[in-house]
A and B are shown apart, each in its own frame.
Chain A
């Protein structure tokens, strides 16, 4: 009778001593931003502008021609010095457009290369690969 009581108690202790609770593992995964993929604006075609050279000698002829063509006899003019500056300003503006465009394209090429499109959008961080530690190692 005594044995019949002791035996199950000992077996219960033996089995429960082997049981352990598993530790929860929390993974952190970085998700990449979706590429913006903005298209550059279409090419703007500029209007053709007619230049008129007017001097003290040809002014009457120029105005007569304007009247003949039913154009208001008025001119918005530059001096030769200012015309030089306007031309240079045009070159500067054009250069700025080219520079900015080149920078935008370089950023796009660097951050949104086409080969990235098919790639999975999650990166497993190196911390996911940290080796597990045993309970006894913690002590």
Chain B
């Protein structure tokens, strides 16, 4: 009888020790998981922060690109207006310039001018395709030096006077 009670106590103690061991192990594993979760959450915060910074950079780039394109469009519209103006220029006496009349009266000189303009137009197409500007084009500041067909893109340093 006494030995049976001893055996029961022994098992109770054994189970108690086992339970304690299991509880400690469980706490340890929970602690490990919590540490891992914490590290991951910190990582997630850093990642989100990086994402927000990237989005801000993207917005900045978008704005700069839009600004650049708008400025470009303004220049191009000015070039078209220049072409329009060239044919419809009004002189000091209030008469509209008529290239037809000019050509009838001075065919040779208009031919010379238009041939030069044709060369300039070809150069404008090259610049439009991405051809780099030459030193001469970059340094042109006088009317006689500029490409009259597309001054806005060919001679960035020319200020009309």
Contact = CB atoms under 8 A, between A and B. Distances in A.
Chain B associates with chain A: yes
Interface of A: 3, 10, 14, 17-18, 40-41, 43-55, 57-58, 79-81, 83-84, 87-88, 90-92, 94-95, 97-99, 101-103, 106, 109-110, 124, 126, 128-132, 134
15 contacts: A17-B22, A45-B122, A48-B122, A50-B115, A79-B100, A80-B98, A81-B100, A84-B99, A88-B83, A88-B84, A91-B79, A91-B149, A106-B69, A126-B51, A131-B41
A46 B68 contact: no
Contacts of A109: 61, 65
Interface residues of B, number: 58
A134 B130 contact: no
B110 interface: yes
A129 B41 contact: yes
Interface string B37-69: 100110110011001000000100110010011
Contacts of B99: 80, 83-84
B126 interface: yes
A47 B125 CA distance: 11
Nearest to B105: A55
B79 A95 contact: yes
SS class of chain B's interface: helix, strand, loop or mixed? helix
A29 B79 CA distance: 50
Contact of A87 (B51, B72, B83): B83
A134 B15 contact: no
Interface in B77-119: 79-80, 83-84, 86-87, 98-100, 103-104, 107-108, 110-111, 114-115, 118-119
A128 B51 CA distance: 15
B138 interface: no
B125 A97 contact: yes
B146 interface: no
B148 to A, nearest CB: 12
A36 B102 CA distance: 53
Contact of B37 (A83, A98, A99, A131): A131
A90 B107 CA distance: 23
A17 B18 CA distance: 11
Contacts of A50: 115, 118
B7 A3 contact: yes
A131 B36 CA distance: 8
Contact of A91 (B47, B80, B107): B80
B16 to A, nearest CB: 11
A57 to B, nearest CB: 8
Contacts of B126: 43-46
B13 interface: no
A78 B110 CA distance: 14
B114 A132 contact: no
B129 A97 contact: yes
